[in-house]
Amino acid sequence: MSLTSGKVYLVGAGPGDAGLITVKGLQCIKKADVVVYDRLANPRLLQSMKPGAEKVYVGKLPDRHTMKQEDINQLLVDLALEGKTVTRLKGGDPTIFGRVSEEAELLWKNGIRYEIVPGITSAISVPAYAGIPVTHRDMSSSLSIITGHESPDKLDRMIQWDKLANATGTLIFMMGVAKIGYISEQLITHGRLANTPVALVRWGTRAEQETLTGTLADIEDKVKAADFQPPAVIVVGDVVLQREKLMWAEYMPLFGKRILVTRARSQASGLANRIEELGGEPYEFPVIDMVHPTEQNEILNIESSFAKLEEYDWIFFTSVNGVEFFFRHLQEQRRDVRSLYRAKVVAVGPATAEALMSHGVIPEQLPEVFQAEGMVEMLGERLKAGQKVLLPRGDKGRKWLPEKLVEMGLEVTDTVTYHTVITGEDDSELLRMFDEGGIHAITFTSSSTVTNLLAIMKRMGIQDPVKKLEGIATFCIGEITAITAKEAGLTVGMVAEEATIESLAQSLCRWNAIQN
């Protein structure tokens, strides 16, 4: 049998938390030409796809199937026959009720190369996030994993209840919320004690995680009273009692919150990682990007400005991007950092100062100021008429600083070293989350992130973006960004006390504490 040039990776995406995918699974996403995914795979994983790769949603909802399993199988074959590298992203582990056998068998029949990449199954990870270890030396040394999704008559044909009820210390039922009454009844009928602890963990490891506990005798009534909806993992056994001592996720400062991060992709990871550390679920949707100037007059202006580096008395950096692009241009023009020997270098904000120090430049020692106004005030009489200032920054920079310096009599060279542009990617998953109330807060780290998000939402077909964002908490990194958000019609919930990522993260924590 000849093999095609295409290949399919059947990848377990893990239980939901994007950080729980395996290293190999993430590699498969990054190199895929096409990613075929369902709703149990965290949409954040798709942000690791290479530029130009195609996304195909084949997810299933409880009341309907977007695509039949047979059609999914054939889709994988068709894509591979086109010579594409395909990653089939499946929730949890693909070999545990993931129907990977059906997909792999058809690939095999068509001579298509494939690999099965295991994932962390929700059978063990979801209980762990609820503080329930599925085994315990004193309580359970064995476990069974059973599907609870089938109809009662099919469950009876597939499950020997008399043997299962007490076969292992812990029983894990997958996708069995709708059948919880029948499952409990069968276990009690066949010898499991009615007071056996039970836990249902819904959307475990995700922002929507919710846990309901009870016993075999009363869990059905509790599910009905709480209107507890799937998907959920059901844990039966004494290990459920460990939750009282071991529950940990619920105590995280941002537990239960999914937060939209609108920073540029090159910068988003810092805020996203901090949100994860605090127990929240970041959703990265970069709405800005920084690019090299391309206009000839701008390039000539940069070259002219950099040719006079030894003449400047001051160089003011107002952002991390300003620092990074300055040193890119310095390298491109093959100029030495020692050209800065005469100038006093000043940074607005600690992050900008750190960026300078990473390049071996120690900025002037000033109290931590976060806006240009504060920097000018701190420098005071050190700024003298006739001094020469280089201001390397983006095209969207505020006019206040150069105008103020000119007013004070300084000679200002205001040089655009990068452009802030709107990103080109739409995101249907984000629209779905907006519709379903899945975004709980939005972070804005610059005025551009505000205006660009609203513009992209319009581009994606939302006629009134401001109305769509009503009810979603809005957080701004500084007053200037907050003013832009308010002028756009948004309600600003909180402004970070300092214009830093950590201060923004702490604002989110204070908000969530108030919510709870």
Q: Does a structural domain hold residue 483?
A: yes
Same domain for 273 and 306, yes or no, is no
Which residues on adjacent β-strands are paired with residue 134?
none
Which range is least confidently modeled, 175-189, 208-222, 260-274, 406-420?
A: 260-274
Is there a catalytic annotation at residue 290? no
Query: Average of pLDDT values for 249-274?
Result: 90
Q: Does a structural domain hold residue 340?
A: yes
Helix (H) or strand (E) holding 70: helix 69-81
pLDDT of residue 366: 67
Same domain for 108 and 154, yes or no, is no
Residues 175, 181, 187, 189: what is their CA dihedral angle, to the nearest 10 degrees?
A: -160
Per residue in 465-484, pLDDT (tens digit) is 999 999 999 999 988 899 99
What is the biggest distance separating any 2 CA atoms in the chain, rounded to whole angstroms? 93
pLDDT of residue 104: 95
User: 239: helix, coil or strand?
Assistant: helix
- The model's pTM is 0.85
Per DSSP bridges, beta strands 197-202 and 232-236 are antiparallel
Q: Are 13 and 91 in contact (CB under 8 A)?
A: yes
- Would the pLDDT of 370 be above 70? no
Angle formed at CA 355 by CA 340 and CA 414, multiple of 5 degrees: 55
- In angstroms, the first-to-last Cα distance of the chain is 61
Candidates 112, 94, 117; CA nearest to 38 is 94
Residues 6 or more apart whose CB falls under 8 angstroms from that of 343 comprise 309, 312, 313, 314, 315, 390
- Would the pLDDT of 64 be above 80? no
CATH number, domain at 380? 3.40.50.10090
Indicate the pLDDT class of residue 100, thresholds 50, 70 and 90: very high
Q: Are 197 and 237 in contact (CB under 8 A)?
A: yes
Same domain for 365 and 276, yes or no, is no
Q: Residues 174, 175, 433, 457: which is the catalytic one?
A: 175
- Would the pLDDT of 512 be above 80? yes
Query: Average of pLDDT values for 157-177?
Result: 93
Same domain for 206 and 265, yes or no, is no
Same domain for 49 and 144, yes or no, is no
Measure Cα distances from 495 to 37, 207, 359 in Å: 37, 23, 30
Q: Does a structural domain hold residue 384?
A: yes
51 CB neighbour count, 10 Å cutoff: 6
Q: Does a structural domain hold residue 2?
A: no
Indicate the pLDDT class of residue 1, thresholds 50, 70 and 90: very low
As a whole number of angstroms, the distance between CA 276 and CA 268 comes to 12
Same domain for 100 and 152, yes or no, is no
Q: Which of the pair, 9 or 61, is modelled with greater confidence? A: 9
- Would the pLDDT of 211 be above 80? yes
Q: Which of the pair, 378 or 492, is modelled with greater confidence? A: 492
Q: Are 446 and 496 in contact (CB under 8 A)?
A: no
CATH number, domain at 144? 3.30.950.10
pLDDT of residue 2: 47
Bond from prior residue into 231 cis (ω within 30 degrees of 0): yes
Among the three residues 120, 150, 182, which one is the final residue of a domain in this structure?
A: 120
Residue type, 153: D
Same domain for 182 and 220, yes or no, is yes
Which residues on adjacent β-strands are paired with residue 58?
none
User: 231: helix, coil or strand?
Assistant: coil
Same domain for 307 and 369, yes or no, is yes
Q: Does a structural domain hold residue 367?
A: yes
User: 481: helix, coil or strand?
Assistant: helix
Q: Which of the pair, 400 or 9, is modelled with greater confidence? A: 9
Q: Does a structural domain hold residue 508?
A: yes
Per residue in 285-316, pLDDT (tens digit) is 999 889 999 899 999 999 999 999 999 999 99
Measure Cα distances from 434 to 170, 205, 259, 419 in Å: 38, 20, 12, 29
CATH number, domain at 101? 3.40.1010.10
As a whole number of angstroms, the distance between CA 443 and CA 49 comes to 23
Which range is least confidently modeled, 80-94, 105-119, 146-160?
A: 146-160
Q: Does a structural domain hold residue 431?
A: yes
Same domain for 214 and 301, yes or no, is no
Among 42-56, 224-238, 416-430, name the most confident range.
Answer: 224-238
Mean pLDDT of the residues in the chain: 91
Residues 6 or more apart whose CB falls under 8 angstroms from that of 165 comprise 186, 187, 190, 191, 192
Is there a catalytic annotation at residue 60? yes
As a whole number of angstroms, the distance between CA 330 and CA 324 comes to 10
φ, ψ of residue 5 to 5 degrees: the values are: -80, -20
Which stretches of 211-335 are DSSP H helices?
219-226, 243-246, 265-277, 296-306, 320-332
How many domains is the chain partitioned into structurally?
4
Q: Residues 60, 222, 388, 396: which is the catalytic one?
A: 60
What whole-number percentage of the chain has pLDDT above 70?
97
Query: Average of pLDDT values for 428-437?
Result: 89
Query: Average of pLDDT values for 345-369?
Result: 84
Among the three residues 98, 120, 142, which one is the final residue of a domain in this structure?
A: 120
Among the three residues 372, 397, 422, which one is the final residue of a domain in this structure?
A: 422
Query: Average of pLDDT values for 322-342?
Result: 92
- Would the pLDDT of 367 be above 70? no
**Tokens standing for 417?**
């070293």
Same domain for 463 and 381, yes or no, is no
With tokens 């391309």, the residue in question is 294
149 CB neighbour count, 10 Å cutoff: 17
Q: Which domain holds residue 508?
A: 258-287+423-515
Ranges assigned E (strand) in 62-105: 64-65, 85-90
Give one word for 63, left, alpha or beta, with left for phi > 0 and alpha for psi -120 to 50.
Answer: alpha
Is there a catalytic annotation at residue 468? no
Q: Residues 7, 17, 33, 38: which is the catalytic one?
A: 38
Q: Does a structural domain hold residue 1?
A: no
As a whole number of angstroms, the distance between CA 332 and CA 337 comes to 12
Same domain for 320 and 393, yes or no, is yes
Same domain for 325 and 428, yes or no, is no
297 CB neighbour count, 10 Å cutoff: 9
